[in-house]
Amino acid sequence: MGTQASSTAQTRDQGGADSGQAQDGIGAGLPSIRAQQVACAVARLLSGSPSRALSAALRLFDGPDLLELSRCTPASLMLQGGLGRREAARLCAAFALARELEGFRRDARPRMHSALEVAQLLRPLVRGLERESFHVFLLDGRHALKRRELVSLGTLSTSLVHPREVFRSAVREGAAAVICAHNHPSGDPEPSAEDVEITRRLRQAGDVLGVPLLDHIVLGEWSHVSLRERLGW
């Protein structure tokens, strides 16, 4: 992978948290004006009179912030905001569409030149997840993305993965190289001892198969760690 090495072991991604953001309820992670706009946008998805819809939208944010709310199930939304079944399903669908839109790229095969590019591509899909998810990016000879694949869903603190699961698709589809990445639900991207060990095993397997592992990236809430940079490959 390209060698745009960061000067720090932990890289803060662009678009991180603003120090002037509100900290509670709907305002958590959003400036206050944006928070009001979000509440109004949610209200437009709900049924009933404008005042009833706005009241229901505000009840939804009485506790969870926007990120937590976006990962709620329809049943949780019905309980939290007193929504009907159709309203809850509609709101879940809107959140799902927003995640897909954030991760959309007009360039269907972007080149993966840095850990930051990988983090920015994957973060919309894993932000707010309560379990670790392990992904592999299959690259061609020019390090352009062929496909991203979800390899496994783990627990709150562990992503269970085996090298054969990571390289199965890479070998079948003729990938020239792979990049692996997974999230830490805690929001702290500091690699664990298990992260370092699985990276070592993946590098060994890739060398044997002739499909090198270019990097293994750990994503936190607003930052990431490149194990290639951390371990000095």
CA distance 179 to 169: 13
Q: How far apart are the first and last CA of the chain?
A: 11
d(CA 138, CA 121): 14
| pLDDT value for 43 | 86
In a shared domain, residues 120 and 209:
yes
How far apart, in whole angstroms, are the C-alpha atoms of residue 129 and residue 120? 16
Last residue of a domain, one of 54, 84, 102: 102
- CATH assignment at residue 116: 3.40.140.10
Amino acid present at 107: D
Residue 58 pLDDT: 83
Residue ranges for the chain with pLDDT beneath 70: 1-35, 102-108, 156-159
Domain boundary among 85, 102, 119: 102
- The answer to whether 138 touches 147, Cβ cutoff 8 Å, is yes
Show the DSSP H helices in the chain as ranges: 32-44, 50-60, 66-70, 74-81, 85-103, 115-126, 163-172, 193-209, 227-231
pLDDT at residue 163, as a whole number: 94
Residue 6 is predicted with a pLDDT of: 42
Number of folded domains that form the chain:
2
- Domain-embedded: residue 219: yes
Give per-residue pLDDT as tens, 197-227: 999 999 999 999 999 999 999 999 899 999 9
Assigned domain for 220 exists: yes
pLDDT score of 214: 97
Cα distance between residue 155 and residue 55, in whole Å: 36
Q: Residues 84, 188: one domain?
A: no
Q: What is the pLDDT of residue 70?
A: 82
